[in-house]
Amino acid sequence: MTNAEKHNHEQLDIPVVQPSTKEKVLTEVTPYLVPKRKLDKVSKLEKLVVALFIVTFVVLSVATVQLSTAINQEEKPITAIQQEVSADKEIIEQLEQEKNELSRKDRVNKIAEEADVKHREENIRNIR
On whether residue 60 sits in a domain, the answer given is no
Residue 2 lies in a domain: no
3-state DSSP of 32-68: CCCCHHHHHCCCHHHHHHHHHHHHHHHHHHHHHHHHH
In a domain, 108, yes or no: yes
CA angle 3, 4, 9 (to 5 degrees): 100
pLDDT at 78: 95
Using CA atoms, how far apart are residues 92 and 99, in angstroms rounded to an integer? Answer: 10
Q: In the chain, pLDDT over 70 holds for what percent of residues?
A: 61
From residue 2, alpha-carbon distances to 7, 12, 14, 26, 126 in Å are 9, 15, 19, 44, 129
Locate all alpha helices (DSSP H) within the chain, ordered by sequence.
3-13, 21-27, 36-40, 44-102, 105-114
Report how far residue 7's alpha carbon sits from residue 33's, in angstroms, rounded to the nearest whole number: 51
Residue 66 lies in a domain: no
For residue 85, what pLDDT is reported? Answer: 97
Specify if 55 maps to a domain: no
Mean pLDDT of 8-21: 57
Query: Is residue 35 situated within a structural domain?
Result: no
Structural domain boundaries enclosing 96: 90-127
Would 64 be classed as within a structural domain? Answer: no
Residue that wins the pLDDT comparison between 22 and 56: 56
Would you place residue 108 in the very low, low, confident or very high pLDDT band (cuts 50, 70, 90)?
Answer: confident
pLDDT tens, position by position, 23-64: 555 555 666 666 666 666 778 888 899 999 999 999 999 999
pLDDT at 66: 97
More confident residue, 38 or 91: 91
| Residue 102 domain flag | yes
Q: Which amino acid is at 5?
A: E
